[in-house]
Amino acid sequence: MDHSALVLIELGALLLGIALLGRLAGRLGISPIPLILLGGLAFGEGGLLPFAAGEEFIEVGAEIGVVLLLLMLGLEYTADELVGSLRTSRRAGVVDMLLNALPGVAVGLLLGWGPVAAVALGGITWISSSGVVAKLLQDLGRLANRETPVVLSILVIEDLAMAFYLPLLTALLLGLSLGASILTVVIAVAAVAVILFIALRHGHVVSRLVSARSAEVLLLTVLGVTLIVAGLAAQASVSSAVGAFLVGIAISGPVARHAQQMLTPLRDLFASVFFLFFGLSTDPADLLPMFVPALGLAALTMGTKLLTGYLAAAGSGVGEAGRWRAGFALMPRGEFSIVIAGLAIGAGVDRSLAALATAYVLITIIMGPLLARVPDAKGFAAWSARRQSRRIES
């Protein structure tokens, strides 16, 4: 068969398969991410029917998927929200990092993967999935709850922390010297500071520059600027994802909302391609020896996320039931964990890390939404009410 025809047929079949998995996920009431990962495992290295044609397109599409994920994340936040979250929840952010990153670092060292892989695994266990958690809060009708601002503040701080973590990880993965690594982080910090300053003081100017009456022109302008900045950031070893995130922060107001509407279908398409590519590049045979470590790590870090949310909500004066809801809501890991693992594997880190990350994300992203419903169960609600009463009496 002609190669071009084969590429079109295989890509069409993959996209149709993603669509079917998305429908199934909707029926099951879960995120489509774990099903897409499983689909990639089935058709990747060592899978049932290895995907041969169109690899280059999938790889480039996966990179664009990461860029769009971070761009859309940046568009959701204003500079004021980021600064406000840093002021009100910085202590909770530090607790979050210590409780959830250190277990990953420890496991990476215990498995003998070395300090760089351990730092990558620490990031994988640290960051909750903003997309899954936000969808979960919406599905459970908790957007107006008292604990929801606490949950969102932690997510904002985690997302902003990625602007510093990813350049550091990139420097370590590239084997840069101490001086070069420090310079990379300094550049990232300076870039974040400059972007936040511009967004706070002159956000309307940036938005006016990219604004356009034509939806097509707006889409092309925002996407073009984002890809250029992401490419320049990658060239400077700062991470293309961080560059895309900063572009999103710099755009605000009605322009940001219009850009979100235009870019959402593209984001969904290329993000799905990214998760599929990660599954395609992971050998299912590597998952079996990593399943037990992943299960233990998931159980440990879902517990630490529960403690993180509980303590953060308690510090904000939220009641007993809300504290538990906040903790359970933060459990799922997802897009960032896979992004971090993808960076590490692309730089030549032990491929077992990909298998561990895949199994870990699958466990947390399936169990997290299920466990998030626990605080609403009658027995648990009655128990937390008794704890609240005893606390008031004492």
How far is Cα 80 from Cα 86, in angstroms, rounded to an integer? 10
pLDDT digits (tens, 9 = 90+) for 277-319: 777 777 777 788 889 999 999 999 999 999 999 999 988 888 8
- Which one, of 164, 165, 183, 172, lies nearest residue 115 by Cα? 172
What is the DSSP code string of 213-244? SSHHHHHHHHHHHHHHHHHHHHHTTS-HHHHH
- CB-based contact 260:74 (threshold 8 Å): no
Kindly report the three-state secondary structure assignment for every residue of 15-63.
HHHHHHHHHHHHHHCCCCHHHHHHHHHHHCCCCCCCCCCCHHHHHHHHH
Half-sphere exposure for 220 (CA within 13 Å, toward CB): 6
- Which one, of 200, 70, 95, lies nearest residue 150 by Cα? 95
Question: pLDDT above 70 covers what percent of the chain?
Answer: 89
Beta strand extents in 316-389 (DSSP E only): none
Which residue do the tokens 């990379």 mark? 184
- Which one, of 366, 273, 355, 363, lies nearest residue 46 by Cα? 355
How far is Cα 360 from Cα 291, in angstroms, rounded to an integer? 8
- Measured in whole angstroms, the distance separating CA 287 from the mean position of its chain's CA atoms is 21
pLDDT digits (tens, 9 = 90+) for 110-148: 998 889 899 999 999 999 987 778 777 777 778 778 888
pLDDT score of 97: 93
pLDDT score of 308: 95
Q: Is the pLDDT of residue 239 over 70?
A: no
pLDDT digits (tens, 9 = 90+) for 324-367: 999 999 998 877 788 888 888 877 787 788 889 888 988 898 88
pLDDT score of 13: 80
Please state the pTM of the whole predicted model. Answer: 0.74
In the chain, the domains with their CATH numbers are 8-377 (1.20.1530.20)
How far is Cα 3 from Cα 56, in angstroms, rounded to an integer? 13
Q: Is the pLDDT of residue 390 over 80?
A: no
